[in-house]
Structure formats: C-alpha cells, structure tokens
Chain A
Amino acid sequence: MSVAENLKPETAETILSVNNIEVIYNHVILVLKGVSLTVPKGGIVALLGANGAGKTTTLRAVSNLLRGERGEVTKGNIIFNGDEIQDLTPNELVQRGCIQVMEGRHCFGHLSIEENLMTGAYTRKDGAAAVKDHLDLVYQYFPRLKERRKSQAGYTSGGEQQMCAIGRALMSKPSMILLDEPSMGLAPQLVEEIFEIVRDLNQKENVSFLLAEQNTNIALKYATYGYILESGRVVMDGDAKELRENEDVKEFYLGTGGEGRKSFKDVKHYRRRKRWLA
C-alpha cells in the first residue's frame, strides 16, 4: 500500500474515493479489510482479483446494495462527488448519478427490453420527452437492443442481456457506473464489443467507470488504472500499462510470466508465499 500510494492518479479530479473501508457480512464475516481506491473523473478504473477477493463486495459497498445481502460497512468512508455516501439509499445514490450494473446482468426477465430500459429512468424527474430522447441515445449505442425492444428480456441472449443491463443503467443519466463482471459468460468477441462500448460511453458521454473483472487481460486493455484485490485487501495498484508489464501480475493474473509454459510447482517459492500471505 505505502509503495502504491504515490502511484495514484493525481492529474484529474476524483469522482469517487473509497477510504479504508471494512465490510462485514452477517455481523461476523469480515470480507473487506481496509480497501481504499479512487476513481478520477472520466476515468475507467479496473478492480481485479480472483473469486472471492472482494471485488463485488467493494462495488456493492459503494452502491449501497450491501444491506440487501446482510452486509455493512463498519469502518472507513466513501466519497462520491465530494459527499459521503455510505448512508444513502440506492435510490438516492442513483439520483446523484452513481449506478451499479450487477454481476450476472439481472435483467427483468418478464419485462420487454424497452421496459427494462425504461425502469432505468425510474428516478428521473426531467420529463417524458427527455427520457424518450435518452432512450434513442441508448439505442444508438446498442442498435441490437432496438431490434429486440419488444422481446421479453428473459429470452434474449447473454450478450443482449448484458447490453440491456448497461443500457438500463445509462437511462438514469449516470456520471458513474459501477460495472460488475461484464464479461461473465460471454464469447470473447462479445466481450470485446461490450468493452468497446464502455470506452465509447466513457469518452463521448463522459461516464466514469469502476469495473470489477476477472478477465484481467481485457480489463487492463481498456482501463486507465487498476487495483488488484486479494482476500479483501488491495495488494497492488498502478497505471494499467504498468500493471500489464508487472512480473507478478503477468505471473498470477495474465498467465504469461517467464518464458513458455510451466507448472505451478516450478513457480518460485517466494512468489507462492507472497500470494498466500498477501
């Protein structure tokens, strides 16, 4: 952490900063043990790590969906656009422009694609015409959704559902989207397509992203900055480019460390230790 401290992006204004939060589920299970991170305005920040590292929990802590899972933030604070947000309801948070796209897409299966998108505008108060315009904009980014607008979301493909989930979040006119595992269960080509759209949205609509991904390779390709979580702690962070070239990251997350193939038992002892103790 201390080494990483001076690598943090200081160039841009921050939109989100998470300061040393601890999250406990069910009053006993300590899942996050002091996680800190910042997202600059207009940035794409990747949150990387293996299963159970705490990526989803971090996102849920920010979007305040933890309570539904019987979790709570017990230490630290979360600041979005200059205000502490950890006591706000998801409803208030969405109104302020921070929305989560949940892991596994979670479209409303029995609603049509268009109805799904419209639920995203639930918190908006700027009138039906503005919402309609925005719907057209979302269809511009996701032309496939327009084709399938009348279909029940439950019967659309995984990629379409992921687009639907992102489009639905967009309908709330967010300044920040917390994107949880967008690549889950999708073909590599589709993953690429979705990340392209994310980058587009980031550049043209000026939406900041905090994205949790297991697919380290693609996440670091599109993100500007990355944090690596291991069992509830940030073990490393840095510019996406630096991370991509870091030997440890290559070794453990990209699977390209060293020369050629090798088995786990050849991995240097200290590295294994490093991993388990991190």
Chain B
Amino acid sequence: MELLKQIFVEPFEVMYALPDLLLQTLWEGFVSGTLYSLIALGFVLIFKASGVFNFAQGIMVVFAALTLVGIHAFGVPAFLAVILTLGVMALLAFTVVRVVMKPLVNQPDIILFMSTIGITFILIAGGQLIFGGEPKAMITEELGLPTGASDWEVGGGIVIFQHIDIAAAVIAALLIAGLALFFNKTKTGRALRAVADDHQAALSVGISLEYIWVVVWFAAGVVALTAGILWAAKSDVSFALQVVALKALPVLVLGGFTSIPGAIVGGLIIGFGEKLFDLYWGVPILGGGTESWFAFIIALLFLLYRPEGLFGEKLIERI
C-alpha cells in the first residue's frame, strides 16, 4: 500500500507543490534529449544509407570534439579550427568508405558491424596518440557560444536556464531542419533515400554507392561534431563521453532505426523520461541512480511490444 502510494500519488503531489522543480527537470530533460537525438541521428543516417549499424558513432562524437580542441590548441582560431575539423571528418568518411565499406560490401551485416567496432578502437587509439588521453575543456567561448544563465521565477521558486543549453537546443533544431531539407529537396538527398530503399536498384540507375556512403559518413561526422561541441561544453572533452553515446541505442529502439523523426522524438522521450523518473520515482523509491539504466528498460519494453519503434518504417507489402 505504501509502495503504491509512493508510485501513484506522492510524485504528483511533489510536482504540484514545487512547479519550479518540475520545470527545471523538464528543461534539463529536454536539453539532454536534444543531444541524444543528435547522436541517434548520426546512427540513423548511416544505417539508412548503408544498412550498417555504426558502432563508432559514439567515438566519432568524442573524436570530432577532440580534434577541434586539439587543432585550436595549436593556436588556430576557433572558426578556422571548426572548418579544419570538418575537413578531418570528411577525410575520415572517405577513408572509412574506401578502406572498410567498399571491400566489405555484400558481406553479412555482422561483419560490417564488427568492422565498425574496429573503427571505434582505431579512433580511440588514434585520438589518444595525437591529442593525449586527459580530459580537455571545450573552447566554448572562443566558438562564440553563450555562457551564463538566466533565471525565471515560477511559483515561488526559480528555474535556471543555462544559455549554452538554449543554444544547444537551437543549434540541434537548425541542424535537423537542414538535414531534412537536404534529404527531401536535393538531388543527392533523393539519391540517398533511393539507396536506403534499394541499393541494387540505385546501382542500376547509375547512383554511385561509394559517393553516397561518403556523403552520409560525412553527414554523420558533422552531426557528431555538433553533438560533441554541445555536449562537451557542458562537461569536458574526454573519452568518457562515448558512454553517453550508448544512450543513443535505446533512442534508436524507441524511434526506429530508419526514422529521422523517430530519432528526434525518441531522444526527447528518453531525455524527459530519465530525468523525471529519476527525480520523482528513482530517488524516493530506489534510492537514485536510475538515469543510467532507465532508457534501457524502456528500450527493452519496446523491443518486446513494438520492435519497429515508434516511427520505424514498416515493410511496405502489397498482398
């Protein structure tokens, strides 16, 4: 009885009593949700176009952020460093396609998946070799990202909005809108969706798979860089960040592996869900620490009852 009350009554009493706390939690959930979405988006891009589950997406986030900070440390201005980092990501995309994807094309999925684990380790080792393993501070101010915070008074308390969080949400939204435009309005975007649908047919109409793969790996690199900058601005640039990327897995299960809107909505659900659950149910009932596993439980439930995710493309089948 006590437990039922703890589950169904008390959390809502607390929400009602302290609206500022609720709003604060929602906001934090929203911000981490957008970042999960960004990371998941990187997975979706590559998975859609090449059917490869790119395990290295998480480390790409770290690698991109690390490269940016590393290049800046050589005294390159921040703006130029971003451009150079984009160049590095393009080079990475090209190399991965040439060295890994092309020779392994038509191999079973699991082999390609294993190869992306290989890429993960190469990036970890390469990153440490070139830039060192110790955590570094993100060059937030140099990039012109806002710092500081605004307060907002609600119902007797205050909600704090970190400016960097606001910027993160806006930038993520812009990036996603840009990608959506690219997919739907450009020739390359159309070719990309064609490849995602049927790569044999795409080949037959003269679409070069290699080129399309480079484009998506680069797009995933851009997404990774953005996610890396925004995430590291809140903490540090370190290899521990890739653990955050693992949170993208439940997001993918939730949203569907092939759906861009799914990645966004899934990210937000996980973001909101884990913050709310931890504060209102996790801490009082389980003693806290639920944030690290909450998403995976949700993913498990989805796998059991709706394996294609919220927005996953069901096979179009005519009977």
Taking CB as reference atom, which chain A residue is nearest B199? Answer: A68
Q: Chain A residues near B142 (CB, 8 Å)? A: none
Cross-interface CB contact of B208 among A68, A91, A106, cutoff 8 Å? A91
B190 touches A119 (CB 8 A): yes
A100 touches B204 (CB 8 A): yes
A63 touches B204 (CB 8 A): yes
Q: Chain B residues near A115 (CB, 8 Å)? A: 190, 193
Cross-interface CB contact of A118 among B190, B197, B201, B206, cutoff 8 Å? B190
* Residue of B187, B191, B201, B318 with most chain A CB atoms under a 10 A cut-off: B201
Whole-angstrom CA separation of A63 from B205 in the bound complex: 10
Q: Chain A residues near B190 (CB, 8 Å)? A: 111, 115, 118-119
B316 touches A102 (CB 8 A): no
8 A Cβ contacts from B192-224 to A:
193-194, 196-208
B198 touches A108 (CB 8 A): yes
The distance from the CB of B210 to the nearest CB of chain A, in whole angstroms, is: 9
Q: Chain A residues near B196 (CB, 8 Å)? A: 110
B203 touches A154 (CB 8 A): no
Is the C-beta of B150 less than 8 angstroms from some C-beta in chain A? no
Q: Chain B residues near A95 (CB, 8 Å)? A: 206
B197 touches A90 (CB 8 A): no
A90 touches B313 (CB 8 A): no
Is the C-beta of A89 less than 8 angstroms from some C-beta in chain B? yes
Is the C-beta of A255 less than 8 angstroms from some C-beta in chain B? no
A99 touches B206 (CB 8 A): yes
A68 touches B193 (CB 8 A): no
Say whether, besides A110-B197, A111-B197, A122 and B203 are in contact (CB < 8 Å): no
A65 touches B318 (CB 8 A): no
The distance from the CB of B202 to the nearest CB of chain A, in whole angstroms, is: 7
Q: Chain B residues near A106 (CB, 8 Å)? A: 198, 200-201, 204
The distance from the CB of A205 to the nearest CB of chain B, in whole angstroms, is: 18
Cross-interface CB contact of A169 among B106, B194, B197, B205, cutoff 8 Å? B205
Whole-angstrom CA separation of A68 from B102 in the bound complex: 11
B204 touches A108 (CB 8 A): no
The number of residues on chain B lying at the interface, defined by a beta carbon within 8 Å of a beta carbon of chain A, is 23
A172 touches B206 (CB 8 A): yes
Is the C-beta of B105 less than 8 angstroms from some C-beta in chain A? yes
A155 touches B193 (CB 8 A): no
Whole-angstrom CA separation of A55 from B48 in the bound complex: 31
Q: Chain B residues near A90 (CB, 8 Å)? A: 203-204, 206
Closest 5 CB pairs of A and B: A94-B206, A154-B316, A106-B201, A108-B197, A123-B206
The distance from the CB of B21 to the nearest CB of chain A, in whole angstroms, is: 44
The number of residues on chain A lying at the interface, defined by a beta carbon within 8 Å of a beta carbon of chain B, is 36
B200 touches A120 (CB 8 A): no
Other A-B pairs beyond A91-B206, A122-B205, A169-B205, 8, CB < 8 Å: A68-B106, A68-B200, A109-B316, A115-B190, A123-B206, A152-B316, A155-B316, A172-B206
Q: Chain A residues near B197 (CB, 8 Å)? A: 108-111
B205 touches A65 (CB 8 A): no
* Residue of A90, A102, A119, A123 with most chain B CB atoms under a 10 A cut-off: A119
Q: Chain A residues near B204 (CB, 8 Å)? A: 63, 65, 90, 99-102, 106
Is the C-beta of A107 less than 8 angstroms from some C-beta in chain B? yes
Whole-angstrom CA separation of A65 from B202 in the bound complex: 11
Say whether, besides A65-B200, A99-B205, A119 and B316 are in contact (CB < 8 Å): no
Cross-interface CB contact of B206 among A69, A93, A110, cutoff 8 Å? A93
Whole-angstrom CA separation of A122 from B197 in the bound complex: 16
Cross-interface CB contact of A65 among B105, B193, B203, B207, cutoff 8 Å? B203
A110 touches B200 (CB 8 A): no
8 A Cβ contacts from A56-82 to B:
63, 65, 68-70
B200 touches A102 (CB 8 A): yes
Is the C-beta of A168 less than 8 angstroms from some C-beta in chain B? yes
Taking CB as reference atom, which chain B residue is nearest A128? Answer: B187
B318 touches A154 (CB 8 A): yes
Say whether, besides A108-B197, A111-B197, A152-B316, A68 and B203 are in contact (CB < 8 Å): yes
* Residue of B105, B106, B204 with most chain A CB atoms under a 10 A cut-off: B204
Cross-interface CB contact of B198 among A91, A101, A109, cutoff 8 Å? A109
Q: Chain B residues near A63 (CB, 8 Å)? A: 204
Whole-angstrom CA separation of A168 from B198 in the bound complex: 14
Say whether, besides A106-B200, A152-B316, A155-B316, A120 and B205 are in contact (CB < 8 Å): yes
The distance from the CB of A175 to the nearest CB of chain B, in whole angstroms, is: 14
Cross-interface CB contact of A119 among B106, B202, B313, cutoff 8 Å? B202
Q: Chain A residues near B194 (CB, 8 Å)? A: 108, 111, 116, 119
Q: Chain B residues near A68 (CB, 8 Å)? A: 105-106, 199-200, 203
B207 touches A122 (CB 8 A): yes
B200 touches A94 (CB 8 A): no
B208 touches A108 (CB 8 A): no
Taking CB as reference atom, which chain B residue is nearest A94? Answer: B206
A122 touches B106 (CB 8 A): no
The distance from the CB of B60 to the nearest CB of chain A, in whole angstroms, is: 27
Q: Chain A residues near B191 (CB, 8 Å)? A: 119, 122
